[in-house]
Amino acid sequence: MVPEVSQPETPELMPVEVDDAMRDLLSRFPLPHGVEDADCSQEEIAQAFNMSVNTVATWIKQGGMPVVQHGGNGRRYIIRLSHCWAWRKAMEAQEDTRDRHNKAQITALQASFLGLEVTDPRAEMTPQQRREAAMADIAWSKAAHMRRQLVPLGDVVNLLESLFQIVRDGVEAMPDRLERELSLKPDQVSAVVRVGDDVLRAMTEAVEEAELKERDVPDVDVQERWLI
């Protein structure tokens, strides 16, 4: 027969009063599965959390880490493992919340400086990242221009001005031309003039609605020159 291996007895924990705040922490941050509670020394807590004993001492004196029994006069510190775990996890959660809040406010401030929306990915960029993104955009634009995928605004403006002038000249000349070629009556000529005026007016309104006349050029009469 194989002899039974006796399991080590679980040491009895020191009696301690647990207030509502600690009960809440223990409920939110229980020990990991399979880990039993224990009353530990400072050295053992330092080992459990991979910290130095000095750090644990600082947690106790300045950070408010819960202690079952304070040390001194020949007595050693006794720290409940579950209490220390819950307290430390709560501190980490607070630090994480604070860090995320601070990061969000820094991003919002940077966005305001740059005239961007907070949701714009560029708002979270560092100055170096923004410079790199700008240089990449310039390089892409130059390459696209060389491939004729991008056309200078001035070229587009000149082309559209020429097209609009052709349309305007043609529409304004249309009544006389139709009168000669089709022998239109005066009322028919008036109808052609009215239709032509409606077309030119609709084009003018479309240009003004798109605010294309707001480009950086001297003010002109849109109906006179058909500038965008």
Q: CA–CA separation, 34 vs 147, rounded Å?
A: 65
Query: Could you tell me which of 100, 52, 45 has the C-alpha nearest to residue 76?
Result: 45
Q: Which residues of 196-218 are buried (b: 16+ CB within 10 A; e: fewer)?
A: beeebeebbeebeeeeebeeeee
Nearest to 127 by CA among 135, 139, 118, 138: 135
Contact predicate 171/196, CB 8 Å: yes
Dig out the tokens for 110 from the structure. Answer: 């940077």
What is residue 75's three-state secondary structure?
A: strand
- What is this structure's pTM? 0.50
Which of 69-78, 81-90, 106-115, 149-158 is predicted most confidently?
A: 81-90
DSSP 137-199: HHHHHHHHHHTTSS--HHHHHHHHHHHHHHHHHHHHHHHHHHHHHH---HHHHHHHHHHHHHH
- For the cut 50, the answer to whether the pLDDT of residue 227 exceeds it is no
Residues 169-191 have pLDDT tens digits of: 888 888 888 888 888 888 888 88
Whole-number average pLDDT of the chain? 80
Name the pLDDT band for 108 (thresholds 50, 70, 90): confident
